[in-house]
Amino acid sequence: MAWTINNGKLYFNTVLYTGNGGTQSITSLDFAPNWVWIKSRSTVRNNVLNDTVRGATKNLFSNTTGAEATDTETLTSFNSDGFTLGDSAKVNENGTTFASWNWKAGTSFTNDASATGIGSIDSSGSVSTDAGFSIITYTGTGSAATVAHGLGVAPKMIINRTISAAKDWITYHASLGATKFVELNTTDAAATSSDKFNNTDPTSTVFSIESSSQNNTSGGTCLAYCFAEKKGYSKFGSYTGNGNADGTFVYTGFKPAFVMTKRTDTTSDWYLSDNKRNGFNDDNHVFYANESDAEKTVNRIDILSNGFKLRSTGSGVNASGGSYIYMAFAENPFTSSAGTPVMAR
């Protein structure tokens, strides 16, 4: 399968900045972001998630169950090359260093299920079929339903929850299948349940939900971040740890710019690494998506031209025989669509 994304920075990029305690605009992106995830590097702060579908100032936190809340001093606008911040310490505390992870979707999406015959309930949002990413909202029914995601191919990962009430972040990953789920905001191992995704893997048009109030509260507003795999740009897979500091190598087919891993056979944090913080092997720092902690220097990975390699014996990332899932986005493919090699750092 060929690919057309030779520059991952046109669809995903990490931006680092220092808070000024007032207002400031982050302007170093090569695209208008649709999903912005911000985390303080040097202090204990929540992971703040904003997207264009819900609108600026509408906050969610990946490490809590809190319902969506409005804060007019956090992310105040989405711009053509970044975003603008208010004076909230969550995202712009004076002198504090921050990381932001930014994704592009961009095309408005609306599905009237009764008119199109796709899905059983209406959905809307923003989608990029090139990047394999959509942000979808829908109103829950409290019973089995299907929701159009707009990607044109089956998503490999869905981060999904009711946002109008306090609920967990229910996460589907293709390596686990639709009979299981993990929670982005907890350390819990993968659990088996039919009431989250109705034991039904997503199709090229819809994903399935069931009776769980976590992602299908009757009358509640629900959100799904949906990700399809795109060769040379994104990968959603699994690996088995070897318990050795010369750890497991995971082939992605590209040089990663972002990697998030989760152990699924026992309790573990969600480990998040990127190519900007510290930015060299083997000292790539990590965050926990499920915690408010400042960044850590434990359980590190090497970022390579064609994947990533674990450089820790920590049980959270590389226990002998441990089962792990991951999501990864590219800085560059291993080779461009023209066949030009991409070299490791």
Higher-confidence position of 149 and 338? 149
207 close to 143: Cβ distance less than 8 angstroms? no
Mean pLDDT lowest for which of 17-26, 111-120, 277-286, 315-324?
277-286
* Strand-strand pairing, 123-128 and 234-240: unpaired
Task: Answer yes or no: CATH 2.60.120 is held by domain 8-103.
Answer: no
Averaged pLDDT score across all residues of the chain: 94
In 52-61, which positions are buried (b, 16+ CB within 10 angstroms) versus exposed (e)? bbbebbbbbb
Mean pLDDT of 182-195: 98
Residue-level length of the chain: 345
The predicted model gives 41-67 an average pLDDT of 97
pTM of the model: 0.95
> Coil, strand or helix: which one is 116?
helix
Q: How confident is the model at residue 170 (pLDDT cuts 50, 70, 90)?
A: very high
The pLDDT, as a whole number, for residue 344 is 45
Tell me which fold the domain 119-227 belongs to.
Immunoglobulin-like (2.60.40)
Coil, strand, or helix at residue 114?
A: helix
Domain ranges of the chain: 8-103, 119-227, 234-333
Model confidence pLDDT, tens digit, residues 121-165:
999 999 999 999 999 999 999 999 999 999 999 999 999 999 999
Q: Given the DSSP bridges, would you call strands 97-103 and 12-18 parallel, antiparallel or unpaired?
A: antiparallel
Rounded average pLDDT over 316-345: 76
Is the backbone of residue 339 left (phi > 0), alpha (psi -120 to 50) or beta? left
Question: Residue 337 pLDDT > 70, yes or no?
Answer: no
Q: Exposed, middle or buried, 67 (CB in 10 Å: 0-12/13-18/19+)?
A: middle
Q: Is 119 left (phi over 0), alpha (psi -120 to 50) or beta?
A: left
Alpha helices in the chain (DSSP H): 89-92, 113-116, 213-216, 315-318
Residue the block writes with tokens 């999406």: 109
